[in-house]
Structure 1
Amino acid sequence: MTDLPYRPCAGVMLLNRDGQVFVGQRLDSTLEAWQMPQGGIDPGEAPRDTAVRELGEETGIAPEHLELIAEAPVELVYDLPDEMIGKVWGGRYRGQRQRWFLFRFTGQDSDVNIETAHPEFRAWRWADPAELTTLIVPFKRRLYEEVLDAFSAHLGSATIHR
């Protein structure tokens, strides 16, 4: 399966005014894992546009409630566990290559609505950045460490402990 390509994707680390990060629990998982919004890049779509679109599709947050802080300097990659390859994304990919964006959320919690046209999350909350690597599924832990490293200069006084 190592000859399969990586799925192009964009991810969003969304910070509230208190420096906490938006995380959601996926509807299609029975695990207690939480994740940041992310999704596939459509052909011809710019990664930043994907990030804003996916955030809206997954959280109901409108673009006017977003302020771009930073973009990760490099694309980040993760592999699916062997038992998942061939079962997700139509069996076409071995993992994802992602462009990550850090946005500030300028709206109110009432501007978040995960009951979208095609819901992906069953619950959401704000989490301390230091919690992220313990909240995510284990196979994405290294990816989240890389995202935290990429945006560490912008995470204020929130110290990252691993």
Structure 2
Amino acid sequence: MTARYRIPKSALTVVYNQTGQVLVMQRNDDPEFWQSVTGTLEPDEKPRDTAMREVFEETGIDIAKRGYRLQDCQQVNTYEIRDMWKHRYPPNTPFNTEYVFAVEVADNEVVTLTEHSAYVWLDKTAAMQKVWSETNRQAIELYVPDAM
């Protein structure tokens, strides 16, 4: 049996509500690692489809069904894969390509976690301080509107 490696491409989706609070979730495998929704592209899957799927899988929020508008931020990041995760990718794969999206949801949107230990809704500044990765911080800064 051949090992199935992840494709080194992912979608990062910043989820925020109408009052500008950002959803930030704690990873199961690293309690210090807080992040927005993120996930690996499946074979033959477009980044937008990955973003929609991952938001649903990780939070229970069905973007299409709820009538939310997924914003393709037209930003692509490249970052080095953490050593602890390199075994998930083909040998000698040092970098991941990340496609950035954002979606505004209702203030009362219900979140049902399936892949994370905890979640919080934080204001933009606090969310930027809480997330682990620089690309996640940058996405929150650029694509979450400032509170009125």
TM-score, scaled to structure 1: 0.73
Structure 1 equivalent of residue 37 of structure 2: 37
Contact 2:13-2:102 at 8 Å conserved across structures: yes
- CA positional deviation for 1:52: 0.8
Residue identity over aligned pairs, in percent, reads: 24
Structure 2 equivalent of residue 7 of structure 1: 8
103, 122, 128: which one pairs with 1:127?
122
Higher relative contact order (CA 8 A, sep 6+): 2
The structure carrying a bigger strand percent of its residues is 2
How many angstroms apart in 2 are the aligned matches of 1:61 and 1:106?
11
Structure 1 equivalent of residue 108 of structure 2: 108
Cα gap change, 1:42 to 1:107, in 2 (>3 Å): farther
Cα gap change, 1:20 to 1:130, in 2 (>3 Å): same
Q: Does 1:156 align with 2:146?
A: yes
Q: Which runs of 5+ in 2 are unaligned?
A: 1-6
Name the aligned partner's letter for residue 138 of structure 2: E
- Root mean square deviation, CA, Å: 2.4
**Deviation by residue 1:99-151 (Cα, 9 ceiling, x = unmatched):** 11111113734x3111xxxx3111111111222332122xx22x124313542
- CA positional deviation for 1:49: 1.1
Contact 1:77-1:98 at 8 Å conserved across structures: yes
Structure 1 equivalent of residue 73 of structure 2: 72
Q: Does 1:98 align with 2:104?
A: no
The count of residues paired between Structure 1 and Structure 2 equals 140
Contact 2:13-2:101 at 8 Å conserved across structures: yes
Cα gap change, 1:36 to 1:85, in 2 (>3 Å): closer
Cα gap change, 1:14 to 1:86, in 2 (>3 Å): closer
